[in-house]
Amino acid sequence: MISVTSLSSYLYCQRKLFLERVLGLFELPKAALIKGTVRHETYDLINKGEEALVRSITKLILFEELNAKYRREYDRMLRETIIKNKQQIIGVELLPEDLFMQVLPLIRNEAGTRSKQLFDFFSKHNVFGEELWQKLTPKILSEQKIDSPNLGLKGIIDQIEVYGEEYVPIELKTGKCPKEGVWPGHRIQVAAYALLIEDFFKKDVKEAFVNYLDSQERRQILMNQFLRLEVVGLIDKVKSLLSRYELPGLSGNENKCCMCSLKDKCFDDAYLKKLLEDKKSKTLNIRAPT
């Protein structure tokens, strides 16, 4: 079974996917990766803590009071995530307190949005506590892991917004956001999550979103049959790439290669040839009958 991230990696650079998944080469963690991990883990805590937070609102309160409660909780969650990842943060030469201050505006913004939605909801429907939680939509499922033997695909979905019978996958992304729409790899990634949801929950998914956290942009992808077929075709291409012992060509994109931490190994033909031969003979030995 292949992972959804392999699909976007394939679109980014087939050779890199091959180096990582077939030859076992890997990138050292970079600052951007650690920052992304901290953001993801904080959002995961936020989603998991939502139910308790909503249930704790048992009577009408002022918006300012609700917002302060959200901010306190989210700040605590960010602090907890920073402490948990302290060694990795220091390992990429970042200061934990600097990273805290970098991520803080993002989660403060999220606290503002969610507390406003909740305030509007209970002010309008006059429900609180358990009833408020039961009636509140959407509910958010976080870090949902789905394996689909039917598709030969597996993935962990950052968020699924559930509106009654409707399921909407959401992918959280840090980094630059395109002028319009989403980056090609992100489009395939959320479309693949939509297929996993359709297979697992037996629901049609009509749309998916990529949330670009740094720019606070939420971009929509509409699902259709062409996109579904594109994902299925890509799954076959990735399977084929990973099952062959043929090194794909270079990406042909100088910018990508410049930023790639595997470039030294990638450009060393003799090293890669030897690695490939070793891998091949090991696999053949394992497969050979005793």
CB of 276 closer than 8 Å to CB of 23: yes
With binding defined as CB under 6 A, does residue 260 bind ligand SF4? yes
If one asks whether residue 185 binds ligand SF4 (CB under 6 A), the answer comes out as no
The answer to whether 96 and 89 are in contact (CB under 8 A) is: yes
Degrees, nearest 5: CA angle 84-87-93? 125
Q: How far is the CB of 181 from ligand SF4 (least distance, A)?
A: 23
* In contact, 85 and 39? CB cutoff 8 Å: no
**3-class SS at 34?**
helix
Q: What is the phi/psi pair of residue 259, to 5°?
A: -85, -5
Nearer to ligand SF4, 25 or 232 (CB): 25
**What token pair was written down for 9?**
């990696």
Q: For ligand SF4, give the closer residue by CB, 111 or 247.
A: 247
Of residues 250, 271, 276, 279, which one binds ligand SF4 by CB under 6 A? 250
Q: Is 256 in the site for ligand SF4 (CB under 6 A)?
A: yes
What are the φ and ψ backbone dihedral angles of 73, each rounded to 5 degrees? Answer: -65, -45
Stretch that binds ligand SF4, among 105-113, 115-123, 219-227, 259-267 (CB under 6 A): 259-267
Choice between 63 and 267, CB closer to ligand SF4: 267
Using the rule CB under 6 A, is 247 a contact of ligand SF4? no
- Select from 251, 271, 276, 279 the one that contacts ligand SF4 (CB under 6 A): 251
The span of 173-181, 216-224, 251-259, 282-290 binding ligand SF4 (CB under 6 A) equals 251-259
Q: For ligand SF4, which is the closer residue by CB, 33 or 232?
A: 33
Tokens for 105?
A: 């505006």
Considering the rule CB under 6 A, would residue 242 count as an interface residue with ligand SF4?
A: no
Q: Which two tokens stand for residue 112?
A: 């503002």
Find the Cα–Cα–Cα–Cα dihedral 248, 253, 256, 262, rounded to 10°: 40
The enclosing H or E element of 217 equals: strand 217-222
Mask: binding to ligand SF4, 8-27, rule CB under 6 A, as x and -?
Answer: -----x-xx--x--------
Rounded to 5°, angle at Cα 83 from 78 and 89: 95
Do residues 193 and 159 lie in contact, with contact meaning Cβ atoms separated by under 8 Å? no
Q: Does 241 bind ligand SF4 (CB under 6 A)?
A: no
Q: How near is the Cβ of 162 to ligand SF4 at its closest, in Å?
A: 38
Is residue 262 near ligand SF4 by the rule CB under 6 A?
yes
Q: Does 266 engage in binding with ligand SF4 (CB under 6 A)?
A: yes
Q: How many residues bind ligand SF4 (CB under 6 A)?
A: 12
Residue 69 lies near ligand SF4 (rule: CB under 6 A): no
The residues, any chain, with a CB within 8 Å of residue 148's CB and separated by 6 or more, are: 1, 154, 195, 196, 199, 200
How far apart (Å, rounded) are the C-alpha atoms in residues 103 and 35? Answer: 8
Q: Does residue 74 contact residue 110 with C-beta atoms inside 8 Å?
A: yes
Q: Which of 61, 92, 104, 257 binds ligand SF4 (CB under 6 A)?
A: 257
Selected from 263, 271, 276, 279, the binder of ligand SF4 by CB under 6 A is 263
Residues of this chain that interact with ligand SF4 (CB under 6 A) are 13, 15-16, 19, 250-251, 256-257, 260, 262-263, 266
